[in-house]
Structure 1
Amino acid sequence: MQSKLLSAAAMALALMGGQGVVPDKAHAQARPPVASSAAVELSATQRAAVLSAIRQAVRSSYVFPDRAPAILARLDAAQTSGRYDVSSPNELAGLISGDLRDASQDGHVYLEYAPDRFAAASAGADATQALSEIDAAAARRDNHGLSALEILPGNVRYLKIDAFHWVSDETGRAYDDAMRFLKGGDAVIIDLRGNGGGASEAVQYLVSHFLRAGTLEITFLKAGQEPVQTRALDNLPAGRLTGTPLYVLIDQASASAAESFAYDVQQFKLGRLVGANTAGAANNNDFFPIAPGFMLSLSVGRPVHAVSGGNWEGVGVAPDTPTSSVQALDAAQAEALRALLSTTTSDAAKTDYAWALTAVEARLNPPMVDAALLQSAPGAYRNYVVTMQDGALVVARPGHPLWPAPRKLQALTADGLFAVEGLDVLRIGFKDGALQLWWKDEPAPRIIPKT
């Protein structure tokens, strides 16, 4: 998780290249090494200076001094072996990052080549503003990390969050719009798969919609500073979403701030986690500029959760429903639909949920349709024509203006019920030599014999 309250001015460190802690806003984005298109070649002298600066930063600032000897020994051995004898800054950053992470077992310890951020962090008194402008531009371009909103069948509302950006007086409004959209759902799915983290302010804003105002969330501990607490906010323009079933998708690439939200959901029992165990990166990190264009991330503190009294560092957050990252969305939607079916008293809602659930379950467990049925299905059924094309059944309505081309049939059940491509309100079955038209709003099928 990102650092809480970075210092307002660069801390002067007597290191080659003017290294200092990044005078960034609270919670600079947690980024993996970023490639640069600039053709820059490093000299042996520059590489040695980079390693010297990293060593001194580890000795002076790393939150776990007992791990420093292993890190330093790994860097020394790699340098002596010639492992770092490369001219590409991005390649060097990747090699050093791998060694730093292996030696520290800390996901927030890495090196990135980021000349723009290095220049901003080295801008003296203007560094805070320069870095904020870079982060704000990235946040706006990414819609503050909110990349997708969708109404899934059964009125399950879906939100994809790729990163937890935070720009004061801007990001909150983007979340307000998303929360208003989610409030209209019978259940909510928030997708954090592949989300590498970001700003705790964004996590605090998001989780506040599911907690009572004033609820203590996390306390951030950093050596030499007073503990800093975050609590559920009072003022939420979109209102709270308490009472709406919540499902959160996670995987091995969900890290840092993404894990913080997942951990909140688990510890406060706000909903269910679906997917795979997360990365296990809980520590708070600061960034240190390293000449001639690198940024070093080091853990400088740790979060303590209000419920567990601990955090997820090194172990990650375990899902309530383990499944592959690829199937997590379908698994969560299936869970949501089954739960809604078990509680609703509305016949219309039951029909809607059951209709949607059939399709989701077919994606999770594709049925095997009897070969004899597939062989007997092709033919003419009044104004419908079923054929076999490329091993799949397709249905056409010759001459129909709204059905200009054949539509593929996708098996939903082993006994011969099929979804119609691009037409969710209709399903087709085959029984006793006849075609069955199952319309969503009709309780029984229309039977059309083969002609």
Structure 2
Amino acid sequence: MQKFVAALFALVLALGAVRPVTAYPPIARDQPDLAIDGTTRATVIEKMLAALERGYVFPEVATRLVADIRRRVHKQEYENIASARILAAVLTDNLQQLSRDRHLRVVYSHKPLSTLQQPAQAERFNSWRNHGFQKVERLAGNIGYLELHGFVTPAQAAETAAAAMRFVAYTDALIIDLRANGGGSPRMVALLSSYLLEGKPVHLNTIYARPNDSKSETWTSADLPSPRFLDKEVYLLTSRKTFSAAEEFAYNLKALGRVTIVGETTAGGAHPGSLERLDEHFGVFIPYARSVNPITGTNWEGTGVAPDIAVPAELALKTAHIAAMEKVLARSSDEFASDDLRKSIAAAQVELDELKKKLASVPSGRMQHSARIDAG
């Protein structure tokens, strides 16, 4: 059930945004399949190829992709596929093998896509998910903790973001958990980043869009309804599942030297795009733009964002919590607070050691990732 909800949330992020988002829309694996015939198969493939030629961010790559798929059609590689789910998976694999673009993907939905592309429905679902803000709390040692599962557009999520940042305003360091974050709105990336940077607007990203040969810039906001979190350490938790706009958030702030990233290298998807419906049950997510960071001159496509402190995702929270408390202790001049920090560090270290033993005891050498496994 949790996997289904997470997948549906990512789909709603992609379908419900007013502007294109950087998260591809995964579909729940346990949805019913659908039998397809040759006419449906041919229609889906032809419309997908037309969408690639019309909008994919790199025209030369689109040309190679179209040629490759047509070659496969000529060889009748898709001829015996009668399952909608399998067709989407095979086409996605073919596209990503050649393009190496994690956003480029064919999606199948048993529920008609037209019923999911209603802004009112997306807004209701985002509200039910608290606009991606899964958890906010004060950890031991007066460390703030924000668990964020998606970047919902500010039109819906700005008020929730302000409330969360107001809650952590008086903590001495902040941990933002992106381990289960699949992305969302670049505008929300800019808004949340604004709370972590000085008031003067900062240029975060430039997005080049192929369809209209245009460039748009994202900047931080000068005016915010809640206090900024300044002059205190910020830690970001990442995993191999951290994707798209969540990666942009980490990449931008790392380039600015504002955060310490703890966890795993992220998935590596930096090309914004949108879902184009092929029929009622098939769509293709076409990345038609690319991100260019003003500091690095490039982005995280294919490489991901590397952590400053590399640990398995399951150990990231305890590791960051200890690091944050040690930083706060080093500058503390309050005897009571210092004593509390030393006790909290010792307790957290015991818990971290137990987690390491548990992780090492798993035959595969790794627990199945859960973004909340070390949240205690």
Unaligned runs of 5+ in 2: 1-14, 357-375
2:340 maps to 1:352: yes
Q: Is the 8 A contact 1:139 1:166 kept in 2?
A: no
What does the per-residue CA deviation read over 1:216-242, in whole Å, with 9 as the maximum and x for residues that have no partner? 111111122432111111221112111
How many angstroms does 1:81 deviate by?
Answer: 5.1
1:207 alignment partner, one of 188, 193, 212: 193
Q: Is the 8 A contact 2:113 2:277 kept in 1?
A: yes
Residue correspondence of structure 1 range 137-176 to structure 2 within 5 A: 137-166=124-153, 168=155, 170-176=156-162
Letter in 1 for 2:245: A
Stretch deviating more after TM superposition (79-88 or 150-159): 79-88
Task: Say if 1:38 and 1:82 are closer, same or farther in 2 by CA, change over 3 A.
Answer: same
Task: Tell me the distance in 1 between the aligned counterparts of 2:58 and 2:16.
Answer: 22
For residue 314 of structure 2, give the secondary structure of its aligned residue in structure 1. Answer: coil
What does the per-residue CA deviation read over 1:26-48, in whole Å, with 9 as the maximum and x for residues that have no partner? 13453223458456321121011
Partner of 2:362: none
2:97 maps to 1:102: yes
Residue correspondence of structure 1 range 11-410 to structure 2 within 5 A: 25-28=18-21, 29-35=23-29, 37=31, 40-76=34-70, 78-79=72-73, 80=75, 82-83=77-78, 85-114=80-109, 118-119=113-114, 131-166=118-153, 168=155, 170-213=156-199, 214-223=201-210, 224-366=212-354
Task: Tell me the distance in 1 between the aligned counterparts of 2:99 and 2:196.
Answer: 35
Task: Say if 1:331 and 1:64 are closer, same or farther in 2 by CA, change over 3 A.
Answer: same
What does the per-residue CA deviation read over 1:82-118, in whole Å, with 9 as the maximum and x for residues that have no partner? 4563333233222222222122100110011236673
What does the per-residue CA deviation read over 1:247-271, in whole Å, with 9 as the maximum and x for residues that have no partner? 0001111111000110122011112
Task: Tell me the distance in 2 between the aligned counterparts of 1:138 and 1:89.
Answer: 26
What does the per-residue CA deviation read over 1:189-226, in whole Å, with 9 as the maximum and x for residues that have no partner? 00000211111111111001012231111111112243
Stretch deviating more after TM superposition (145-154 or 34-43): 34-43
Q: Is the 8 A contact 1:58 1:298 kept in 2?
A: yes
Q: Is the 8 A contact 1:84 1:92 kept in 2?
A: no
Task: Tell me the distance in 2 between the aligned counterparts of 1:222 and 1:56.
Answer: 18
Task: Tell me the distance in 1 between the aligned counterparts of 2:55 and 2:115.
Answer: 21
Question: Matched residue pairs, number?
Answer: 339
Task: Tell me the distance in 1 between the aligned counterparts of 2:216 and 2:110.
Answer: 31
Partner of 1:448: none
Task: Tell me the distance in 1 between the aligned counterparts of 2:180 and 2:151.
Answer: 12
Stretch deviating more after TM superposition (308-317 or 252-261): 308-317
Q: Is the 8 A contact 1:164 1:199 kept in 2?
A: yes
For residue 326 of structure 1, give the secondary structure of its aligned residue in structure 2. Answer: helix
Task: Tell me the distance in 2 between the aligned counterparts of 1:99 and 1:133.
Answer: 34
Partner of 1:408: none
Percent of pairs identical after alignment?
27
Task: Say if 1:350 and 1:84 are closer, same or farther in 2 by CA, change over 3 A.
Answer: farther
| Greater strand fraction, Structure 1 or Structure 2 | 1
Task: Tell me the distance in 1 between the aligned counterparts of 2:125 and 2:230.
Answer: 31
Task: Say if 1:132 and 1:337 are closer, same or farther in 2 by CA, change over 3 A.
Answer: same
How many angstroms does 1:71 deviate by?
Answer: 2.4
**Normalising by the residue count of structure 2, what TM-score does the alignment of the two structures yield?**
0.83
Task: Tell me the distance in 2 between the aligned counterparts of 1:71 and 1:240.
Answer: 46
How many angstroms does 1:352 deviate by?
Answer: 1.2
Task: Tell me the distance in 2 between the aligned counterparts of 1:167 and 1:72.
Answer: 36
Q: Is the 8 A contact 1:36 1:113 kept in 2?
A: no
**Normalising by the residue count of structure 1, what TM-score does the alignment of the two structures yield?**
0.70
How many angstroms does 1:167 deviate by?
Answer: 5.5
For residue 227 of structure 1, give the secondary structure of its aligned residue in structure 2. Answer: strand
Task: Tell me the distance in 1 between the aligned counterparts of 2:121 and 2:113.
Answer: 11
Unaligned runs of 5+ in 1: 1-21, 122-129, 369-423, 425-451
Task: Tell me the distance in 1 between the aligned counterparts of 2:275 and 2:46.
Answer: 16
Q: RMSD value over aligned CA atoms?
A: 2.5
Task: Say if 1:84 and 1:182 are closer, same or farther in 2 by CA, change over 3 A.
Answer: farther
Task: Tell me the distance in 2 between the aligned counterparts of 1:304 and 1:111.
Answer: 25
For residue 296 of structure 1, give the secondary structure of its aligned residue in structure 2. Answer: strand
